[in-house]
Structure 1
Amino acid sequence: MNPTVPTPAPPFDDAHDDVPAAFRRLPPQDLDAEQAVLGGMLLSKDAIGEVVELMKGQDFYKPAHETIFHAIVHLYGEGEPADPITVAAELTKRGEIGKIGGASYLHTLVQMVPTAANAEYYADIVHDRARLRRLVEAGTRITQMGYDADREVDEIVDAAGAELYNAVGVRDEAALVRVGKRLEGHIDSLDDRQKNGVTKGVPTGFTDIDALTNGLKPGQMIVIAARPAMGKSTLAMDFARACAIKHGRPAAFFSLEMSEEELMNRLLSAEARVGLHHLTSGTTTSEDWQRIARVAPRISEAPLYMDVSPNTTVMEIKAKCRRLQQRDGLDLVVIDYLQLMSTGRKTESRQVEVSDMARQVKLMAKELKVPVVVLSQLNRGPEQRQDKKPVMSDLRESGAIEQDADVVILLHREDAYEKESPRAGEADLIFAKNRNGPTATITAAAILHYSMFADMAQT
């Protein structure tokens, strides 16, 4: 029987034997590419302009290279030449010449690259290695989070998702482009908008609202606020229906108040023009069934998603939206409503908790780059006034909502207070705040027996 041949020991220090091999390797980097980038920049100011659009100083693995990069970019920004002599003088003035190995290292960089033509290619390599390093670092932090027993699981999951998102989204998507290159496409967009009424953001289904806002924009937090029973949920569902059913764009509706059956009844009532009371009381007529049959395929094919989980948190909603966005895309989020949510942790007061949730919703909109419509209750201020109309100050008990919102729509119906009102069947959509446009009051038809609002011209 042959003797067993011992397996050679791995080439690592004994002091690190308890560390997984994947974590004992050098982080992803390419020092030759880093030197080539800097050499090209020292040879040509054109190369400097190309490189700074593709990468940042933090993308370099070697600290000395980042130091040189910042000196070159500083001189370039001042309109001064950036060659080995001027860069050496700049680094000497900063007291950093010793950090990079002396002026001779700058000449070495230039000698390594015969031409600056490939600086852009090498900059891409350096940037890609930096993204991989960030993924490794994010993975390490996520691993550490997993062992933190003092934090809530939902908080850890949300933080882990954010770590990965930040790691892969390092490069700024915005780039400096010549206006002429965009002009033709922009004119086509204007022409299409004029002919087809296409809005730049997510359409709401209301002509006057889309004209005022030009659609709901990515990153916006849109607040629909009213006293109870005014129709907040109905208006929010109108927005979701317009997005998903009419325009085929993915929308997610989170209801912390209604059951799935209630939501489905409202959706069917509005789309099929079937009385909501028929659906809830089981008195649906044959004509109602025909209308439902006609709209059922359209609803089934629409990318409209609903979630009726009670006692949910902003973090949980954000995690669900991020997964949906990665899987099927996402253009609109609706949350019904803010005061029913929880932060998942203890706070000094309910007001502080609601303010914290408002900030989290705004950050979610920015992170996911979608408009988020969130419903909110008003205080009793309107009921204490003669005309009953809500104003922005009625939100103040809810802390940061007014401050964080991009758009605030105050919903008011006179017939909710005065049954014989001459404006019965009308609703005022008061745009009390519109960060990117004018404020106004838009009148809509309140067709609540069909669980919907509509343009006045459609009635």
Structure 2
Amino acid sequence: MQKVPLDKIPPQNLDAEKSILGAILIDKDAIGKVVDFLNPEDFYSPAHRIIFSTAINLFEKHEPIDLLSMSNRLEETGRLSEIGGASYLTSLASSVPTSSHITTYGKIVQRKKMLRDLIEAAHHISGLGHNEEEDIEHLLDEAEQKVFAVSQRSITHAFSHLGEGLTEAMERITNQDMGILRGYPTKHKYLDEILGGLQRSDLIILAARPSVGKTSFAIDLALRAAEQGISVGLFSMEMSMDQVVDRFIANRAGVSMWRLRTGKLSHDQDDFLRITTACDELKSLPIYVDDASSPNILQMRAMARRLQANQGLGLLVVDYLQLMASKRNYDSPVQQVTEISRGLKGLAKELNIPIVAISQLSRAVEQREGHKPRLSDLRDSGSIEQDADVVMFIHREDKINYEKAKDQNKLNYAQVIVAKHRNGPTGEIDFRIDPDSLRFLEIDKSHQQEEVMTF
């Protein structure tokens, strides 16, 4: 392998960078050809980064991009002198006869940035190799994430002809006519009637106040999907692997979570036998858990893509959205959550799977008469409501007004409220929650009886 001198200039192509900026200055439509894949950070020259960032700012505000507007904006922000003054902008514009090759130049600049990122990742990985105190599995995972983060830049997409989707559409319509759900069945009758199952490429937000049962319901959905042979990935940022495993065991075995956690098992109720049986059954289910704290969307995408390639990922559960890290520092949590929700929606489309993301609700719901959640209660909502295809709330009166719920015989009862459904109806489904195993049992509306659970 060829050795690279440490003082060698990193990969870059200043001529390509100048050609891109010159094309943008002489053609108002040029930036639209590269803005979807090129970032200011891709430019090697600091001055070029500033110019391209300013061009994007003008583009986002639908303002003209030319020598005058660029000079004015750079002067307003106090950065005109940093890029060499107005004369440098003029030299960029005059050095390019046409903007027709801007996409080609953009790909060159992007590739050079990827090579620089690869070098940076290699240096970082080299440093990891000298960390003898850290667990080797953690080091390998961090090294893999570095390389995967670089690889994301090489993914490209293009339009597809409508005809390519018509055959699949006819198959879906035929199945629906025969009563076959289009999505993955939740095995909750009334929830499936509203949603038609969990749909591919849908971002499904499951929101509630703390200790209402968000994680328990998400685990219930994951377990029911896995029982149908659907591979499930669970990012657990709030609970450790041990806690997640206990939730699955309690749900499957129908054993008290408290007895399971404390080891005070009941011999009269055959707890140990039920737990052993549940563990044997759970081992065969395609459920994969990651309990790393606060991954960002790039890390999550890389891991999910790898899981899909290796195990055929069909459903992803994120617990919970507000604990995810963002790729940059924002002034407000609203901006951070906006980046994350848009990233999750993009990931659902890319992998063509449903993603169930748990979200917190603000305290406003507790101060309102009736206490039922609304879309406006989504905490630090950002664009959650806009990005989500489905928004479901869990409402429990006994968690807000215990005495009232007790008087109405509504202890351990919950409503799952489908408040938003982009492609279908909304509605409310009644459940009873088993206080021991935390199972959600759908109530049969026709007979007001609990759903018969089959495991």
Same fold (TM over 0.5): yes
Q: Which of 310, 315, 319 is 2:298 aligned to?
A: 315
The answer to whether residue 437 in structure 2 is matched with residue 456 in structure 1 is no
Residue 262 to residue 173, structure 1, CA distance change in 2 (3 Å): farther
Greater share of helix: 1
With normalisation by structure 2, the TM-score equals: 0.64
Residue 140 to residue 377, structure 1, CA distance change in 2 (3 Å): same
The answer to whether residue 160 in structure 2 is matched with residue 172 in structure 1 is yes
- Unaligned 5+ residue runs, structure 2? 1-8, 12-106, 125-141, 445-450
Partner of 2:292, secondary structure, is coil
Shift of 1:205: 2.8
Residue 288 to residue 435, structure 1, CA distance change in 2 (3 Å): same
Partner of 1:201, secondary structure, is coil
Distance across 2 between alignment mates of 1:333 and 1:358? 14
The answer to whether residue 241 in structure 2 is matched with residue 282 in structure 1 is no
Shift of 1:418: 2.4
8 A contact 1:158–1:318 mirrored in 2 = no
Q: Counterpart amino acid of 1:234?
A: S
Shift of 1:404: 0.8
8 A contact 1:221–1:374 mirrored in 2 = yes
Distance across 2 between alignment mates of 1:182 and 1:402? 27
Shift of 1:153: 8.6
Distance across 2 between alignment mates of 1:154 and 1:332? 23
The answer to whether residue 426 in structure 2 is matched with residue 439 in structure 1 is yes
Partner of 2:233, secondary structure, is strand
Partner of 1:318, secondary structure, is helix
- Residue in structure 2 matched with residue 48 of structure 1 by the alignment: none
8 A contact 1:145–1:156 mirrored in 2 = no
Shift of 1:293: 2.5
Mapping for residues 21-36 of structure 1, pairs under 5 Å: none
Residue 171 to residue 247, structure 1, CA distance change in 2 (3 Å): same
- Residue in structure 1 matched with residue 398 of structure 2 by the alignment: 415
8 A contact 1:154–1:315 mirrored in 2 = no
- Residue in structure 2 matched with residue 353 of structure 1 by the alignment: 336
Distance across 1 between alignment mates of 2:373 and 2:385? 13
Q: Please, what is the CA RMSD of the aligned residues?
A: 3.3
- Residue in structure 2 matched with residue 35 of structure 1 by the alignment: none
Residue 178 to residue 362, structure 1, CA distance change in 2 (3 Å): closer
Distance across 2 between alignment mates of 1:394 and 1:454? 26
Shift of 1:295: 2.5
Mapping for residues 52-63 of structure 1, pairs under 5 Å: none
Distance across 2 between alignment mates of 1:213 and 1:340? 27
Q: Which of 186, 189, 199 is 1:204 aligned to?
A: 186
Distance across 1 between alignment mates of 2:330 and 2:174? 51
8 A contact 1:396–1:402 mirrored in 2 = no
Distance across 2 between alignment mates of 1:210 and 1:201? 9
Q: Give per-residue Cα distances to partners, 1:423-443, cap 9 Å, x unaligned.
A: 222111111100010111111
Partner of 1:411, secondary structure, is strand
- Unaligned 5+ residue runs, structure 1? 1-17, 21-134
Partner of 1:267, secondary structure, is helix
Q: Which of 369, 377, 392 is 1:394 aligned to?
A: 377
8 A contact 2:230–2:313 mirrored in 1 = yes
Q: Which of 255, 262, 275 is 2:243 aligned to?
A: 262
Mapping for residues 140-155 of structure 1, pairs under 5 Å: 142-147=114-119
8 A contact 1:445–1:455 mirrored in 2 = yes
Residue 143 to residue 380, structure 1, CA distance change in 2 (3 Å): same
- Residue in structure 2 matched with residue 189 of structure 1 by the alignment: 175
Shift of 1:417: 1.8
Residue 275 to residue 439, structure 1, CA distance change in 2 (3 Å): same
Distance across 1 between alignment mates of 2:159 and 2:310? 22
With normalisation by structure 1, the TM-score equals: 0.63
Q: Which of 162, 166, 181 is 2:152 aligned to?
A: 162
Mapping for residues 5-404 of structure 1, pairs under 5 Å: 142-147=114-119, 157=147, 160-166=150-156, 172=160, 175-176=163-164, 189-190=175-176, 194=179, 198-244=180-226, 246-286=227-267, 287-395=270-378, 397-404=380-387
- Residue in structure 1 matched with residue 416 of structure 2 by the alignment: 429
Shift of 1:399: 1.1
Distance across 1 between alignment mates of 2:253 and 2:331? 47
Shift of 1:419: 2.3
Shift of 1:137: 11
Q: Counterpart amino acid of 2:218?
A: A
Partner of 1:331, secondary structure, is strand
Distance across 1 between alignment mates of 2:201 and 2:246? 30
Distance across 1 between alignment mates of 2:196 and 2:288? 24
Distance across 2 between alignment mates of 1:450 and 1:308? 22
Partner of 1:433, secondary structure, is strand
Distance across 1 between alignment mates of 2:169 and 2:209? 46
Partner of 2:418, secondary structure, is strand
Aligned length: 321
Shift of 1:141: 6.2
Residue 186 to residue 394, structure 1, CA distance change in 2 (3 Å): closer
Q: Counterpart amino acid of 2:392?
A: I
Distance across 2 between alignment mates of 1:346 and 1:210? 39
